[in-house]
């Protein structure tokens, strides 16, 4: 249908309509109305109207036909009989749910164009994701038009809107049953794969309940079975080891001396934490469930940095392939399949850091994991569906940026991003190490270090101004070096950001096929994604909610104050002049010592 578009919008017809197009472009630029007189409507005008009408009718016909064909395929397709004739899914099946945390529509364009440049691909080359777009999701939470990841993931896990910060609890703080818990109770094997801390908001929402996402010590305990339903997650791969280790050990970030690794082992988990142990799983053929794999103390490094230390951390794609193999082997002789949530967790962090070079690598890593899931589904004899969406957009990313008062050129420059070899987060840590070491010289020596080691080697930038170099040297906790670095590269690439936080734009929904995920075709509320997950697995999430709410041993952490808004939108409090930079939500993961206590992603 794309090929018909030129008919609908005749850009260069021979009768001078291209001039009219110019007028319209001017109007868009200047905001003035065009003045196209009725008197000019001659034969060509009516010919255009005719052409347009014909094209419209043809397009509608094609759409109606394709809808018929798609719906026909849903019932008929013998090899993938996921949905039965009464609209209920039947038979053994697997559900793979992927979350691209913080990935908005612009992230796709940015990554696609960057990859075309770096790999010398044609202009119509797309990401795998692009070929599986089925719809979009509206993301607001119960307490704000801009959601956080906790409320966003609660919409997916429980199918209900809740307040920012809620980990699968409702606005009244009562727990809501999750699709993963319901799946586990119904005999499915379950898994969580992430690149951030496994205790971070998105994975937390599938296997734990807490009044606030910051209660990561509590979340960790529930995730490995200290939970009224017992152990609900069979496979865990990701980061966030520090919340599982007692405060008597050096790597710990727990407030207490509980040893959750020991607790998990007693509960039957096979615990691994090194690259060698991961490799010994042999892509999943040697893995034994339940499996707890925590490969970083905090977050796994950004892909742009991880690829340089591939011998230490597995990639999202590798973890994905291993998880799918493990779960399909474990359910080989079962009538019931598996449910897994796989998150490209740190697309969001690149957005928070306003770091476009880090983000393109994160999105591409996610695209590869998505492709790996598709490959698995194509090969596997058990039918299954892959659904992928984001909880929200992060950064208010724009593929354009006005740098000066003069009218901007229409461009942005992926070649700038292509020259970066590390993230701003990594370079920040490197610069801090230098700053705190004995090597640190006088101001002149520091400037040389910044120009050579940080900007040139790290970002591929050799035209930094003295002001830029000095602002890096003078950066502090409120406006850290990572922000300065991200701004230096973003300006050169002419990439824009409107916030270090999230934004309220609709995000994309992708699926292995529009036919298998037909309830998600079109524009949807994020809770409908959650309801789809439960419907596809045919599990009763409400029954789990009842169980949890009647349980006396579910502790969701200290309650929030009465004044915390949970079920109505936040309102204006004159913030535009009140709040000071970074006073509340300091990003704590930046120096790699993520405790997960302060960063509200
Ligand atoms: C470690 O945890 C115990 C309680 O489990 C607590 O009494 C102690 O103060 C903690 N130690 C530190 C250094 O935080
Ligand atoms: C899928 O099948 C192809 C061809 O047999 C094989 O090369 C590939 O490794 C398989 N992939 C997965 C994920 O099983
Ligand atoms: C990328 O790096 C190369 C080699 O240092 C340099 O010649 C080129 O100008 C850089 N490109 C951009 C856009 O900065
Ligand atoms: Zn998020
Ligand atoms: Zn975030």
Q: Which of 75-89, 272-286, 348-362, 573-587 has the lowest mean pLDDT?
A: 75-89
Q: Helix or strand or coil: residue 147? A: coil
Atom of ligand 1 nearest to the CA of 248: 1
Query: Can you tell me the distance from the alpha carbon of 174 to that of 168, in angstroms, rounded to the nearest whole number?
Result: 9
Per the structure, the count of domains in the chain is 2
Q: Which ligand is nearest to the CA of 152?
A: 4
CB of 412 sitting under 6 A from ligand 2: no
pLDDT at 75: 37
Question: Which of 141, 201, 145, 202 shows the shortest CA–CA distance to 171?
Answer: 141
User: Residues lining ligand 3, judged by CB closer than 6 Å?
Assistant: 415-416, 419, 460
- The answer to whether 70 and 515 are in contact (CB under 8 A) is yes
Is 70 exceeded by the pLDDT of residue 20? no
Task: Indicate if 317 and 464 belong to the same structural domain.
Answer: no
Sign of CA dihedral 110, 111, 113, 118: positive
Q: Is the pLDDT of residue 587 over 60?
A: no
Q: Which of 455, 477, 494 is the endpoint of a domain?
A: 494
How far, in Å, CA of 312 to CA of 309, rounded? 6
The pLDDT of residue 65 is 54
Domain end residue (candidates: 494, 525, 559): 494
Residue 551 reports pLDDT greater than 60: yes
Q: Is 171 within the bounds of a domain?
A: yes
Q: Are 394 and 424 part of one and the same domain?
A: no
Domain that holds residue 456: 414-494
Q: Which range is least confidently modeled, 24-28, 56-60, 322-326, 510-514?
A: 24-28
Edge-to-edge order in the sheet of strand 384-389: 270-272, 291-294, 235-239, 189-197, 338-344, 94-100, 384-389, 507-511, 133-138, 522-525
In degrees and rounded to multiples of 5, residue 421 shows phi and psi of -110, -10
Q: How do residues 358-377 score in pLDDT, each as one tens digit?
A: 999 999 999 999 999 999 99
Are residues 243 and 194 part of one domain? yes
For residue 337, what pLDDT is reported? 98
Give the side-chain half-sphere CA count within 13 A for 356: 35
Average pLDDT over residues 272-287: 98
CATH number of the structural domain spanning residue 101: 3.40.720.10
CB of 379 shorter than 6 A to ligand 2: yes
Q: Where are the alpha helices (DSSP H) in 120-242?
A: 149-157, 179-185, 201-207, 216-223
370-416 pLDDT, tens per residue? 999 999 999 999 999 999 999 999 999 999 999 999 999 999 999 99
Distance CA 459, CA 469 (A): 13
Q: How far apart are CA 459 and CA 490, in angstroms?
A: 11
Q: What is the mean pLDDT of residues 293-306?
A: 98
Same domain assignment for residues 316 and 187 = yes
Most confident by average pLDDT, 38-47, 116-125, 586-595 = 116-125
Q: How far is CA 144 from CA 137, 420, 519, in A?
A: 16, 36, 26
The CA distance from 439 to 449, in Å, is 10
Q: Quick one: 98 and 145 in the same domain?
A: yes
Residue 44 or 251, more confident: 251
Annotated binding-site residues read 101, 200, 202, 343, 348, 352, 391-392, 502
Query: Average pLDDT of the chain?
Result: 88
- Give CA 147 to chain center in angstroms: 13
Tens-place pLDDT, residues 236-273: 999 999 999 999 999 999 999 999 999 999 999 999 99
Full-model pTM: 0.86
**Same-domain check for residues 168 and 285:** yes
pLDDT of residue 76: 37
Instruction: Please state the length of the chain.
Output: 601
Domain membership of residue 241 (yes or no) is: yes
**135 and 212 fall within a common domain:** yes
Q: Are residues 394 and 482 in the same domain?
A: no
Return the pLDDT at 88: 77
130 touches 145 (CB < 8 A): no
Confidence at residue 1, expressed as pLDDT on a 0 to 100 scale: 37
Please work out, in degrees rounded to the nearest 5, the angle formed at the alpha carbon of residue 226 by the alpha carbons of 566 and 241.
85
The residue whose CA is least distant from atom 13 of ligand 2 is 376
Protein residue with its CA nearest to atom 5 in ligand 2: 379
- Answer yes or no: is 52 within a domain: no
Name which residue sits closest to atom 10 of ligand 3, judged by CA: 419
Phi, psi of 526, deg, nearest 5: -60, -30
Q: Which of 8-17, 461-470, 501-510 has the lowest mean pLDDT?
A: 8-17
Residue 61 pLDDT > 80: no
In angstroms, the first-to-last Cα distance of the chain is 39
User: Mind listing the pLDDT tens digit for each residue in 72-121?
Assistant: 343 334 444 457 666 778 899 999 999 999 999 999 999 999 999 999 99
Is 34's pLDDT higher than 50?
no
- CA–chain centroid gap for 370, Å, is 12
Q: Residue 275 domain-assigned?
A: yes
Residue 17 lies in a domain: no
> Does residue 439 lie within any of the structural domains?
yes
Q: How many CA atoms lie within 13 A of 280 on its CB side?
A: 11
Q: 446: Cβ–Cβ under 8 A, 6 or more apart, which residues?
A: 435, 440, 473
Query: In terms of domains, do 205 and 312 share one?
Result: yes
Q: Both 130 and 242 in a single domain?
A: yes
Indicate the range of 41-55, 190-204, 313-327, 558-572 predicted with least confidence: 41-55
Residue at 468 is within a domain: yes
- E strand or H helix at 116: helix 105-119
Contacting residues for 85 by C-beta, under 8 A, at least 6 apart = 75
Q: Are residues 394 and 511 in the same domain?
A: yes
The residue among 489, 510, 377 whose CA lies nearest residue 425 is 489
pLDDT digits (tens, 9 = 90+) for 187-213: 999 999 999 999 999 999 999 999 999
Whether residue 381 has its Cβ less than 6 Å from ligand 2: no
- Count Cβ atoms below 10 Å from residue 231 Cβ, excluding itself: 18
Residue 137 falls in the annotated catalytic set = no
State whether 169 and 310 are in the same domain. Answer: yes
What is residue 456's DSSP assignment?
A: I
How far apart CA 370 and CA 320 sit, in angstroms, is 9
Give a yes or no: residue 33 inside a domain.
Answer: no
């Amino acid at each position: 249908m794309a090929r018909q578009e030129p008919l609908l919008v005749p850009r260069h017809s021979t009768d001078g309509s291209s001039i009219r197009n110019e007028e319209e472009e001017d109007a868009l630029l200047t905001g003035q109305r065009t003045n196209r007189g009725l008197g000019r409507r001659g034969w060509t005008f009516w010919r255009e109207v005719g052409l347009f009408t014909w094209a419209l009718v043809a397009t509608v016909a094609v759409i109606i036909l394709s809808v018929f064909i798609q719906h026909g395929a849903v019932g008929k397709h013998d090899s993938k009989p996921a949905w039965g004739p009464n609209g209920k899914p039947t038979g053994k099946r697997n559900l793979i749910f992927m979350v691209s945390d913080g990935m908005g529509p612009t992230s796709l364009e940015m990554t696609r164009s960057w990859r075309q440049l770096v790999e010398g691909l044609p202009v119509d080359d797309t990401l795998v994701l692009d070929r599986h777009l089925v719809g979009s999701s509206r993301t607001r939470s119960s307490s704000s038009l801009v959601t956080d990841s906790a409320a966003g993931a609660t919409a997916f896990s429980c199918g209900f809107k809740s307040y920012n910060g809620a980990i699968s609890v409702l606005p009244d703080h009562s727990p809501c049953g999750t699709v993963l818990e319901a799946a586990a109770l119904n005999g499915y094997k379950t898994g969580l794969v992430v690149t951030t801390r496994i205790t971070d908001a998105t994975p937390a929402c599938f296997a734990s309940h807490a009044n606030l996402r910051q209660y990561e010590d509590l979340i960790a305990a529930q995730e490995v079975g200290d939970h009224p339903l017992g152990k609900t997650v069979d496979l865990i791969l990701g980061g966030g080891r520090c919340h599982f280790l007692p405060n008597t050990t050096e790597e710990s970030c727990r407030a207490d001396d509980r040893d959750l690794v020991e607790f998990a082992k007693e509960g039957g988990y096979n615990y691994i934490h090194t690259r060698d142990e991961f490799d010994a799983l042999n892509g999943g053929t040697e893995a034994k469930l339940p499996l707890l794999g925590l490969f970083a103390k905090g977050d796994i490094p950004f892909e742009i940095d991880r690829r340089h230390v591939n011998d230490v951390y597995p990639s999202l794609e590798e973890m994905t392939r291993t998880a799918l193999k493990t779960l399909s082997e474990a359910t080989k002789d079962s009538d019931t399949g598996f449910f897994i949530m796989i998150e490209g967790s740190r697309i969001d962090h690149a957005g928070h850091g306003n770091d476009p070079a880090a983000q393109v690598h994160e999105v591409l890593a996610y695209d590869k994991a998505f492709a790996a899931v598709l490959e698995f589904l194509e090969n596997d004899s058990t039918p299954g569906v892959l659904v992928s969406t984001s909880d929200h957009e992060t950064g208010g990313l724009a593929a354009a940026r006005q740098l000066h008062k003069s009218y901007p050129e229409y461009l942005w420059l992926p070649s700038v991003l292509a020259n970066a070899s590390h993230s701003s987060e990594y370079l920040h840590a490197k610069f801090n190490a230098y700053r705190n070491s004995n090597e640190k010289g006088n101001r002149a020596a520091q400037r040389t270090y910044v120009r050579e080691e940080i900007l040139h080697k790290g970002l591929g930038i050799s035209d930094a101004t003295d002001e830029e170099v000095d602002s890096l040297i003078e950066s502090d906790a409120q406006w850290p070096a990572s922000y300065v670095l991200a701004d230096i590269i973003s300006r050169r690439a002419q990439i824009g950001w409107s916030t270090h936080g999230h934004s309220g734009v609709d995000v994309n929904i992708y699926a292995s096929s529009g036919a298998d995920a037909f309830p998600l075709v079109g524009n949807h509320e994020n809770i409908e994604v959650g309801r789809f997950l439960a419907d596809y697995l045919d599990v009763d999430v409400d029954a789990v909610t009842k169980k949890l709410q009647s349980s006396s041993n579910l502790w969701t952490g200290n309650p929030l104050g009465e004044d915390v808004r949970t079920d109505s939108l936040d309102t204006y409090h004159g913030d535009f002049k009140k709040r000071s930079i970074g006073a509340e939500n300091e990003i704590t993961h930046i120096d790699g010592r993520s405790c997960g206590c302060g960063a509200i992603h």
